[in-house]
Amino acid sequence: MTTPAKIILRIPGPWPERIDIITSVAKSRTGYLFADDLVYNTRTLQTFSTLVGGFLPEMEVAFTSFSTGNIDEQTLEAIRKHVHSLYFTTPAYTPNDARAAMRAADALLISGGIAILVESSGVVHTAPEWHALYARSDTDNSALYEAFVSRMVDGPNRTYYTCGMHNMGKRDAILTGNLIAVNAPALVRHFLLHTLDTEDEIEPGHTFSATGDHPAYKVTPEPCTTFPPGNVYHNPHGMWRLETLAT
């Protein structure tokens, strides 16, 4: 079995002391407790490693640089004034692990957390945005995709690829060619949601088409080369390369 990747979340908050984090989680009525560097689900008994750190001056820069316009000034001001930050990690074997992480992180936001930085993929979310994604996550895999996956373009090489599917125990995807003509973001999103929606194994050489009006693509597995092993963005499961079939 492939060594699991880790879901890594950073959550800044205004809590003056460590005891305030403990009491806030206990009073949140979310079904979670926090003690001994663990967030504990009292119903499922699942635990999540959560280390408490102090103020991080680079926190605002991280949220600003990873924002896609979704971090408002009020949230940035609160991040500037944060007192503690939580470092939340958990192994990621399957999409259900990502759902469990979303649920626990949502409890930490309810308990006073300001926002979430997904350090394992370079995505940021405000608390209201995360609440909305979590509310959909049990029945809509697109919520997992939006919560954990970043999308990147290598313009000189005409390459579009994702980073973050390892948070669900899945391969990322990479596509090279005329990215505008094939609407690369929509095509790759549609394909990766298919991999989340089905338990069927995709065989090398499998073909895929977003709709009947679009060309079919050959799907081939390959190692992750966009980020090196040991990097938090590296996908140990590898990537799916989408290549258009000759017509």
CB atoms within 10 A of CB 98: 28
Q: Which residue has the tokens 């469990």?
A: 100
For residue 16, the SS3 value is coil
Please tell me the predicted confidence (pLDDT) of residue 209: 66
- Give residue 100's pLDDT band: very low, low, confident or very high (50, 70, 90): very high
What is the domain partition of the chain in residue ranges?
5-145, 150-244
Question: What residues contact 124, with CB distance under 8 A and at least 6 apart?
Answer: 62, 63, 66, 67, 70, 71, 115, 116, 117, 118
More confident residue, 247 or 127: 127
Mean pLDDT of the chain: 92
More confident residue, 214 or 148: 148
Please tell me the predicted confidence (pLDDT) of residue 182: 74
Q: Among residues of the chain, what percentage have pLDDT more than 70?
A: 93
Q: Which of 54, 35, 32, 34 is nearest to 43 (CA)?
A: 32
- Distance (Å, whole) CA 165 – CA 173: 9
From the options 3.30.70, 1.10.3470, 3.40.50, 2.60.120, give the CATH code of 5-145.
3.30.70
Please tell me the predicted confidence (pLDDT) of residue 247: 46
- Tell me the two tokens of residue 31: 């079904």
User: What is the Cα Rg of the chain in Å?
Assistant: 19
- Tell me the two tokens of residue 186: 């929509």
Please tell me the predicted confidence (pLDDT) of residue 205: 66
Please tell me the predicted confidence (pLDDT) of residue 180: 74
- Distance (Å, whole) CA 127 – CA 110: 8
Q: Which of 231, 210, 228 is nearest to 219 (CA)?
A: 210
Q: Which of 207, 199, 214 is nearest to 243 (CA)?
A: 207
More confident residue, 155 or 146: 146
- Distance (Å, whole) CA 109 – CA 33: 13
Q: What is the rounded average pLDDT of the residues 172-182?
A: 84
- Give residue 246's pLDDT band: very low, low, confident or very high (50, 70, 90): low
- Give residue 156's pLDDT band: very low, low, confident or very high (50, 70, 90): confident
Q: Which residue has the tokens 């009006």?
A: 213
- Distance (Å, whole) CA 15 – CA 19: 9
Q: What is the rounded average pLDDT of the residues 103-131?
A: 98
pLDDT tens profile 37-62? 999 999 999 999 999 999 999 999 99
More confident residue, 2 or 18: 18
> Facing residues of 85 across strands?
12, 53
Please tell me the predicted confidence (pLDDT) of residue 245: 72
